[in-house]
Amino acid sequence: MSFLSVSNVHHTYFSKEAATEALQDINLTIDKGEFVSFIGPSGCGKTTLLSIIAGLFEPTSGSVHIENQEVYGNKDLSIGYMLQQDYLFPWKTIEENITLGLKLLKQEKKSFTNVASSLLSDVGLPPVEKKYPRELSGGMRQRVALARTLAVDPKILLLDEPFSALDYQSKLKLEDLVSNKLKEYGKTAVLVTHDIGEAIAMSDRIFLFSARPGKLHQTFLVPEELRTLTPFEARAHSSYSSLFQTIWKELESLE
Ligand SMILES: Nc1ncnc2c1ncn2[C@@H]1O[C@H](COP(=O)(O)OP(=O)(O)OP(=O)(O)O)[C@@H](O)[C@H]1O
Ligand SMILES: [Mg+2]
C-alpha cells in the first residue's frame, strides 16, 4: 500500500460567471520517504492539487489518502505546507513564529525555547529567536519557515515554489538544506516548481502536468546516480543535462 494516493481526482472551480475545470482524472501514488515534484505550464492545476493533498478543500470528485486515511476533513494528519511567501507573522518574534504550530497542538510551553533554538541551528541560522521577521533577509525567513514547518513533525511536506522569490545563490543553498533535512528526518515531500533543474536536482520522481484541463501527462524517474547526490552536485552531473533536455522538450510541446 502506498503512503499517499491520489485517486480519480477531478476538480472544477465554480463562480457566478464560469466553471473552470482545473484537474481531470488525476491518479498517482507516492511512497514513504519519497521526494516528488510537480511541474507543468502555468494554470495546469499544480497548486490546486497540492491544496487538495493538504486537505484544504474537497475535490469535486475523487479522493486523497495518506496511510489509508482520507485527508479531507481529517484533523489527525499533520501536513506541513511551505509557500513562496514565508507567511511569518510580522508582529511575532522568530521563536513565536517557529513554535506557533506547537502551541496550536497544545504542547508543553517550557520546551518551546529549546525547540526553537535547536531548529534554528538545524536550518543553519544563528540565534535569532528574539528578532522579528523584518530584521531577517528573504533567505533567512525561508529558513525560519522551514523550521516552523518541521517543528510540528508533519507526516508530509508540501512545498509550493518555496525558493522562487529568492536570489539564485540563496535558492541553491536552500535546495541543499531542504533536501538534506528531509532525508535526515525521513520525510515524504511534494515540491511544486517552474524550475526543471530544481525538480531534477531535488526529486526521486517528477510528474509533468498538461493544462486546460490539468492532466497528468508524463512521469519521469530521476536516475539513481543523481538521487544520491546533493541538489548542487546533481546539477553538475552528466545525466542531469540529458534529463533536462528531455523534460524541456516535453514541456515545450505542451505550451
Ligand atoms: N480559487 C479559484 N477560483 C477559480 N478558478 C481558480 C481558482 N484557483 C485556481 N483557479 C483556476 O484553476 C486553474 C489551475 O490553477 P492553479 O493555481 O492550480 O494552477 P498552477 O499550475 O498552480 O499555476 P501556476 O504555475 O501559475 O502557479 C487555472 O485555470 C486557474 O485560473
Ligand atoms: Mg501555482
- pLDDT at residue 105, as a whole number: 67
Q: Can you tell me the distance from the alpha carbon of 120 to that of 59, in angstroms, rounded to the nearest whole number?
A: 36
Rounded Cα–Cα distance for residues 31 and 153 (Å): 18
Q: How many CB atoms lie within 10 A of CB 132?
A: 16
- How many Å apart are CA 23 and CA 213, to the nearest integer? 6
Does 107 lie in the same domain as 34?
A: no
| Integer Cα distance of 7 and 227 in angstroms | 27
The amino acid sitting at 226 is: L
How many angstroms separate the alpha carbon of residue 201 from the centre of ligand 1?
26
Q: Note the pLDDT tens digit of each residue in 228-243.
A: 999 999 999 999 999 9
Nearest one of 221, 214, 229 to 246, comparing CA atoms: 221
Distance 38 CA to ligand 1 centre (A): 14
Both 123 and 171 in one domain: the answer is no
- Nearest CA to 213 among 74, 9, 24? 24
Q: Which ligand is nearest to the CA of 83?
A: 2
pLDDT in the model for residue 165: 85
Does 102 fall in a domain? Answer: yes
- Mark whether 171 and 250 lie in a shared domain: yes
The answer, yes or no, to whether any atom of ligand 1 lies below 6 A from the CB of 147, is no
Is the Cβ atom of 241 under 6 angstroms away from ligand 1?
no
Report yes or no: 73 and 23 within 8 Å, Cβ to Cβ. no
- What the block records as the C-alpha cell of 38 is 510537480
Q: Is 147 exposed, middle or buried (0-12, 13-18, 19+ CB in 10 A)?
A: buried
- Domain stops at, among 102, 123, 154: 154
Whole-prediction pTM? 0.93
Q: Which ligand 1 atom lies nearest to the CA of residue 49?
A: 18
Answer yes or no: is the C-beta of 43 below 6 A from any ligand 1 atom. Answer: yes
Cα separation, 45 vs 82, in Å, equals 17
Shortest-distance ligand to the CA of residue 209: 1
Residues 132 and 181 in one domain: no
| Predicted pLDDT of residue 160 | 93
Ion ligand 2 contact residues with beta carbon within 5 A: 46-47
Is 159 within a domain?
A: no
Task: Using alpha carbons only, give the angle 21, 49, 211 rounded to the nearest 5 degrees.
Answer: 45
Predicted local confidence at residue 37, as pLDDT: 98
Query: Same domain, yes or no, for 175 and 253?
Result: yes
Q: Tell whether ligand 1 has an atom less than 6 A from the beta carbon of residue 80.
A: no
Q: Of the residues 114, 133, 154, which one is the last residue of a structural domain?
A: 154
Q: Are residues 216 and 171 both part of a single domain?
A: yes
Residues 106 and 186 in one domain: no
Does residue 162 fall inside a structural domain?
no
Please indicate, yes or no, if residue 82 is contained in any of the structural domains: no
Same domain, yes or no, for 181 and 65? yes
In a domain, 236, yes or no: yes
Which domain does 97 fall in, by range? 89-154
In this prediction, the residues of the chain whose per-residue pLDDT falls under 70 are 104-110
Ligand number nearest CA of 20 is 1
Nearest CA to ligand 1 atom 16: 45
Same domain for 215 and 246: yes
- The pLDDT of residue 101 is 79
> Based on the domain organization, do 135 and 215 belong to the same domain?
no
pLDDT in tens, 104-117: 666 666 677 788 89
- Structurally, the chain folds into a number of domains equal to 2
Domain presence at residue 84? no
pLDDT at 106: 64
